[in-house]
Amino acid sequence: MRCRILHESRGRMRVHFVQSRMTPEQADLTQAWLETHKIITKARTDERTCNAVIWYRPDAREQLLSLLASFCYAEAAEQTTVPAHTTRVLTRNFEDRMFFHIAGRGITRFLLPFPLRTVITAAKAVPYLAKALKSIFSGKIEVSVLDAASISVAMLRREFNTAGSVMFLLGIGEILEDWTHRKSVENLAAAMSLNVDKVWVRTADGQEVLTGVDRVREQDAIVVRTGNMIPLDGVVLEGDGMVNQASITGEPLPVHKRPGSMIYAGTVMDEGELVITVRQESGTGRYDRIVKMIEETEKLKSSTEDKASHLADRLVPWTLGASALTWLISGNAARAAAILMVDFSCALKLSMPIAVLSAMREAGTHNISVKGGKFLENCSEAATIVFDKTGTLTCASPSVRGVETFGGTDADEMLRLAACLEEHYPHSMANAVVKEAKKRKLEHEERHSTVDYLVAHGIVSSIDGKKVCIGSYHFIFEDEGAVIPEGEETHFENLPDECSHLYMAIDGRLAAVILIEDPLKAEAADIVRQLHGLGINRVVMLTGDSHRTARAVAKMVGVDDYYAEVLPEDKAAFIRRVHSSGRKVIMVGDGINDSPALSESDCGVAINSGAAIARELADITISEDDLHALVVLKKLSDSLMKRIHGNYWRTISINSFLMLMGALGVFPSTTTALLHNASTLAISLNSMTDLLKQS
């Protein structure tokens, strides 16, 4: 591909691709290809000009020139994964709409004779009048009535140019409002699209192979078990299970699925195991449903948003009344029309959801995924935060310190067997076992039969006709009744206290204890201090671990209170008790056993490396790498609520001022319409800016 350098400065270059035309798809591919190279920090392409602006490492200019010289679309398409959805086409469509709207007004206003302009103005007024009549007949007095009234007054006074200008400005306002809202939704939907990297695929010979989800094709058979997210649309081929599909259908209870049942991407296996025949490849169905969810679900509305929206509707009759009163007092229809051009509805109804959508998008730049505005509001108002311990306050990837064997078993064989079972149910301790087996190069085949997972307890399976159990002390020794091999009691009693223990029994006899080191996250104590400083006055830790371990962690982290050896239902019950005292609660967890508490809380926060069902039931997900996301989340939610309240008062103040100027005859109707739309746009665009200063 031939390129020409148009301009460059240190670390920045603008180049022109020498071609007659660049499609939006080619622009997306070019930008994605450029950003895959480590020497390039950022790139932006423009399909209209065939130009690209590239930010790169200052010491890599020659490498960049070499890359540009070797660029071709065919090879780039093979090397690069282009996002399935971008806002490029959306932006171009709205630019075209705006151009034709302005061009049409110019032709009508300056090139057509007056009689023809009058006919066109009257024809354009019909949809506004029809919309107003529909609103009135439905018993509602909405902003459409104000628009129709102002247009009608101008036409009755034979001011057709004024009526045309009013409709022109209203059209611009509608295009800009539609664009800002759609762009916010598209940006957010792209951030929320399903992110499942791998899936178990059943091969023709019955083996299960862990495969990248982007390599799965239609008619492939995938296996999904309890707690895992279903990554692709399909039909159940085998199995029986309960699927939580609230995120797609809104059904509050899990749905029973059997052979022949339809399965949707993004839903979660609550219980059971299913073999699914894929009907739709990755990236095609989930995105559209997310867009629909964002546009329709009430989760987007915080109570503050909702109040502002209802207030906007209630103010319409007052605007009509002010216009009528002005006409009665002054006898001047122009002044009355000027008031009609101003309403509170546009800015209140547009800027509030845009502020929320923008905050959710900004959260995504910090690796925080938020499902709705009311959860940000709840986060801002919450004064209590509850943490799970394992994988949340402690490292998301704890490590295996060692394997203690019993009954003459082999340590590597026991670790291999444990990894074989644990890899089907991702949790921080399970991940540690799988990673250690991989580190020791202990490859395994799927030797076990159906795997049963008991929440907060452990896993049961059968291998070579023997019952194998792995899990907590309570599960292995109390529920399953396993015994310690004779003569090895002392060995068992001397297991190190500083480690968490994962017990494995075969046919009722203890076979191994896997020692898990679960170090505290380096930032945990600092995060607790910062949360206290941001208005969280009670930090609580809930864990199923022993009192000894919980007490030590609580002291190091600096939580206000802790509870040990709790079951999933105990965590949910604790949150209900806090609710009964009138307080809102944030719950942070990562496992299947945290799911009831995440559902019970006002703002459930899941770690994105945890169980799929926890992520699905949670209202917000954060990165496993750094708990500072919680501080960012709190600051962001507080800033959002300040912005929403600020938008509310700015809208009331500006529009009240415009109504007063119209009533006094200072501003004509075209001026109030222009200033009203300009202020609405300004408030909306400001609502799209970042809330937090970028470092």
Residue 301 has pLDDT above 70, yes or no: no
pLDDT of amino acid 423? 77
Residue 5 has pLDDT above 50, yes or no: yes
* Amino acid, single-letter form, for residue 559: V
CB 624 within 8 Å of CB 396 = yes
* Amino acid, single-letter form, for residue 363: A
Average pLDDT, the chain: 81
Domain ranges of the chain: 3-82, 92-189+300-354+639-687, 198-282, 368-395+521-624, 399-517
Closest-CA residue to 359 (of 678, 651, 642, 648): 642
Report the relative pairing of strands 221-225 and 268-278 from DSSP bridges.
Answer: antiparallel
In this predicted structure, which of 246-250, 296-300, 611-615 has the lowest mean pLDDT? 296-300
Q: Which CATH architecture has domain 198-282?
A: Distorted Sandwich (2.70)
Among positive and negative, which fits the CA dihedral 166, 168, 172, 174? Answer: positive
In this predicted structure, which of 67-71, 128-132, 359-363 has the lowest mean pLDDT? 359-363
Strands (E), 436-589: 452-454, 458-463, 466-471, 500-506, 509-517, 538-542, 561-563, 585-589
pLDDT of amino acid 483? 93
Please state, in angstroms and rounded to a whole number, the distance separating the CA atoms of residues 329 and 322. 10
CB 174 within 8 Å of CB 681 = no
Give the tens place of pLDDT for each residue, 137-180.
888 777 778 778 878 877 887 878 878 877 887 787 677 667 76
Residue 299 has pLDDT above 50, yes or no: no
Provide mean pLDDT across the span 579-583.
Answer: 88
CB 443 within 8 Å of CB 469 = no
Q: How confident is the model at residue 508 (pLDDT cuts 50, 70, 90)?
A: very high
Residues with Cβ within 8 Å of residue 375, at least 6 apart in sequence: 299, 602, 603, 619, 620
Please state, in angstroms and rounded to a whole number, the distance separating the CA atoms of residues 479 and 77. 55
- Three-state SS for 404? strand
Provide mean pLDDT across the span 476-501.
Answer: 87
In this predicted structure, which of 102-106, 166-170, 613-617 has the lowest mean pLDDT? 613-617
Give the single-character DSSP code of 424. T
Residues with Cβ within 8 Å of residue 594, at least 6 apart in sequence: 388, 568, 571, 587, 606, 610, 614
CB-CB neighbours of 3 under 10 Å = 18
* Tokens standing for residue 354: 């845009």
Q: Which of 272-276, 370-374, 426-430 has the highest mean pLDDT?
A: 272-276
Provide mean pLDDT across the span 606-631.
Answer: 76
Please state, in angstroms and rounded to a whole number, the distance separating the CA atoms of residues 647 and 670. 24
Q: Which of 57-61, 225-229, 659-663 has the highest mean pLDDT?
A: 57-61
* Amino acid, single-letter form, for residue 25: E
pLDDT of amino acid 695? 41
Residue 296 has pLDDT above 60, yes or no: no
Please state, in angstroms and rounded to a whole number, the distance separating the CA atoms of residues 45 and 31. 6
- Three-state SS for 515? strand
Provide mean pLDDT across the span 361-376.
Answer: 81
Q: Domain 3-82 class?
A: alpha beta
Please state, in angstroms and rounded to a whole number, the distance separating the CA atoms of residues 152 and 160. 10
Residue 69 has pLDDT above 70, yes or no: yes
Partner residues linked to 101 by β-bridges: none
- Three-state SS for 378? helix
pLDDT of amino acid 12? 94
Q: Between the CA of residue 570 and those of 61, 456, 597, what are the distances in Å?
A: 60, 11, 9
Query: CATH number of 399-517: 3.90.1720.10, 3.40.1110.10, 3.40.50.1220, 3.30.70.890?
Result: 3.40.1110.10
Report the relative pairing of strands 585-589 and 603-607 from DSSP bridges.
Answer: parallel
Residue 286 has pLDDT above 60, yes or no: no
CB-CB neighbours of 610 under 10 Å = 27
Q: Which CATH architecture has domain 368-395+521-624?
A: 3-Layer(aba) Sandwich (3.40)
pLDDT of amino acid 193? 53
- Three-state SS for 236? strand
What are the helix (H) ranges across 284-427?
286-296, 303-330, 333-340, 345-365, 373-381, 411-422
pLDDT of amino acid 38? 87
Residue 675 has pLDDT above 80, yes or no: yes
CB 340 within 8 Å of CB 323 = yes
Half-sphere exposure in the Cβ direction for 627 (13 Å, CA): 25
pLDDT of amino acid 306? 62
pLDDT of amino acid 255? 82
DSSP symbols for 610-624: S-HHHHHH-SEEE-S
In this predicted structure, which of 121-135, 216-230, 435-449, 542-556 has the lowest mean pLDDT? 435-449
* Tokens standing for residue 378: 């709840």
The share of the chain scoring above pLDDT 70, in percent, equals 83
Residue 81 has pLDDT above 80, yes or no: no
Strands (E), 425-508: 452-454, 458-463, 466-471, 500-506
Closest-CA residue to 419 (of 400, 439, 433, 438): 433
198-282 and 368-395+521-624 share one CATH topology?
Answer: no
pLDDT of amino acid 40? 92
Please state, in angstroms and rounded to a whole number, the distance separating the CA atoms of residues 463 and 417. 9
Residues in the chain: 695
- Three-state SS for 563? strand
pLDDT of amino acid 536? 93
CB-CB neighbours of 119 under 10 Å = 12
pLDDT of amino acid 194? 46
pLDDT of amino acid 380? 92
Rg (CA), the chain: 31
Half-sphere exposure in the Cβ direction for 81 (13 Å, CA): 4
* Tokens standing for residue 356: 């929320």
